[in-house]
């Protein structure tokens, strides 16, 4: 086991931030997988695999200083290899759906796997969530983290161009988990990277998330068809169950008779984030508060959209410690460009060209409310 530890000399008791590594099994192709544990000076801890960049656990304090794991996932690698709804993973080359597994770029049509009904989802059959990334840990005085690198070859999963991808996970002494994504390509390609952690701020496996109180900085959302492909409209949330501009429990309107909620079923929609100021600075996207524990998660991002979902757990998956993940036992908030952008010329572009570089930053900041 490798270990990197830094003692921050700021008087007693001396806080220690560290990164440690331990084996986590072997893939079907014989690749060794490691788990890295990032710990900050407050005792907040993230456990991350080089396989898929998966966040296996995330321990954060409640209002009494008690730590709990707030993400869903599995205890062992075989469970992740067998059937995972993208628990905790990096999603690429394209997060969310591309209609009919097809897009045209510079006059050429590309065909992708249809791995979600008639559509392509989350990069295909073997997306960035199912590959082993190169990992380099780092420690700085106020943060620890990992630099994850993966090169996706030209033609992989049907996408054009060799895509060199770097994703940096940083855990700061301010209880932030920061994701920095960057990529370059040698041929024009769509790129839309995100992170697919599922949260339950009451603690993993401790019931459904319907009582979590959500605020979204979004005046509009992208309505979908019955296969969850955006229609192209940017619809105002005012007067709909999609209005989270003021703090509202997730469960308050989730079962209302609304055609969009029927398609979800529930919320499985991209919200159009309100943006002001410099596009390179992360802006406030969402706040989630769990009343019993007092835990709060705030999300800031440079991305234009936030896909908010969590309906598809159905009691068939057994997570960490054997807990059964029933319907709505977790929610995901995936910062990203809008679904199906390669086929929607009016949406912000997801095309990356040679000579350009892709950059995106998302911050999950954890705290408590009395």
**Catalytic residues, which ones?**
196, 334
Residue placing its CB nearer to ligand GLA in the complex, 268 or 303: 268
Phi, psi (degrees; rounded to nearest 5) at 34? -115, 155
On the CB side of 161, how many CA atoms lie within 13 Å of its CA?
20
Output the six-digit token pair for 67. Answer: 């730590």
Q: Do the bridges between strand 55-61 and strand 331-336 make them parallel or antiparallel, or are there none, so unpaired?
A: unpaired
| Shortest reach from residue 85's CB to ligand GLA, in Å | 4
Query: What stretch of H or E contains 82?
Result: helix 77-82
Neighbours of 176 (CB within 10 A): 18
| Shortest reach from residue 307's CB to ligand GLA, in Å | 6
Output the six-digit token pair for 42. Answer: 């407050």
User: What is the rounded CA–CA span in Å between residue 300 and residue 86?
Assistant: 22
Residue placing its CB nearer to ligand GLA in the complex, 6 or 116: 116
Q: Which residue is nearest to ligand GLA (CB)?
A: 85
Q: Quick one: DSSP state of residue 86? A: -
| Shortest reach from residue 115's CB to ligand GLA, in Å | 10
Output the six-digit token pair for 112. Answer: 């992708």
Residue placing its CB nearer to ligand GLA in the complex, 92 or 160: 92
Residue placing its CB nearer to ligand GLA in the complex, 68 or 268: 268
Query: What stretch of H or E contains 26?
Result: strand 16-26
Residue placing its CB nearer to ligand GLA in the complex, 83 or 238: 83
Binding site for ligand GLA (CB under 6 A): 85-86, 96, 121, 228, 268, 307, 309, 312, 332
Residue placing its CB nearer to ligand GLA in the complex, 103 or 331: 331
| Shortest reach from residue 38's CB to ligand GLA, in Å | 25
When computed from its CA atoms, the radius of gyration of the chain, rounded to whole angstroms, is 20
| Shortest reach from residue 121's CB to ligand GLA, in Å | 6
Query: Which one, of 118, 152, 7, 155, lies nearest residue 340 by Cα?
Result: 118
Using an 8 Å Cβ cutoff, are 203 and 68 in contact?
yes
Dihedral sign for Cα 49, 359, 98, 269, please: positive
């Amino acid at each position: 086991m490798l270990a990197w530890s830094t003692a921050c000399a700021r008087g007693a008791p001396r806080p220690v931030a560290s990164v440690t590594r331990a084996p986590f099994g072997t893939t079907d192709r014989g690749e060794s997988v490691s788990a890295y544990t990032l710990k900050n000076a407050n005792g907040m801890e993230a456990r991350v695999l080089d396989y898929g960049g998966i966040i296996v656990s995330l321990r954060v304090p409640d209002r009494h200083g008690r730590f709990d794991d707030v993400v869903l996932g599995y205890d062992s690698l075989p469970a992740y290899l067998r059937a995972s709804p993208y628990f905790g993973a990096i999603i690429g080359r394209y997060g969310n759906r591309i209609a009919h597994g097809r897009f045209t770029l510079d006059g050429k049509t590309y065909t992708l796997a249809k791995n979600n009904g008639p559509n392509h989802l989350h990069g295909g059959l073997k997306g960035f969530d199912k590959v082993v990334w190169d990992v380099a840990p780092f420690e700085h005085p106020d943060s620890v983290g990992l630099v994850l690198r993966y090169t996706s070859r030209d033609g992989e999963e049907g996408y054009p161009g060799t895509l060199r991808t770097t994703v940096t996970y940083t855990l700061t002494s301010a209880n932030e988990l920061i994701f920095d994504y960057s990529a370059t390509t040698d041929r024009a390609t769509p790129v839309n990277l995100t992170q697919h952690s599922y949260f339950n701020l009451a603690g993993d496996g401790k019931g459904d998330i319907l009582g979590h109180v959500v605020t979204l900085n979004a005046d509009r959302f992208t309505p979908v068809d019955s296969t969850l492909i955006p229609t192209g409209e940017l619809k105002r949330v005012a007067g709909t169950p999609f209005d989270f501009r003021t703090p509202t429990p997730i469960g308050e309107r989730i079962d209302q008779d609304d055609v969009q909620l029927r398609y979800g079923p529930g919320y499985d929609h991209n919200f159009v984030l309100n943006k002001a100021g410099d596009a390179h600075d992360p802006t406030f996207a969402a706040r989630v508060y769990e009343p019993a524990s007092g835990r709060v998660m705030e999300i800031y991002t440079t991305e234009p959209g936030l896909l908010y979902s969590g309906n598809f757990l159905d009691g068939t998956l057994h997570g960490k410690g054997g807990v059964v993940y029933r319907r709505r036992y977790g929610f995901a908030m995936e910062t990203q460009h809008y679904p199906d952008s390669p086929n929607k010329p009016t949406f912000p572009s997801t095309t990356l060209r040679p000579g350009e570089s892709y950059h995106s930053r998302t911050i999950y900041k954890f705290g408590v409310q009395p």
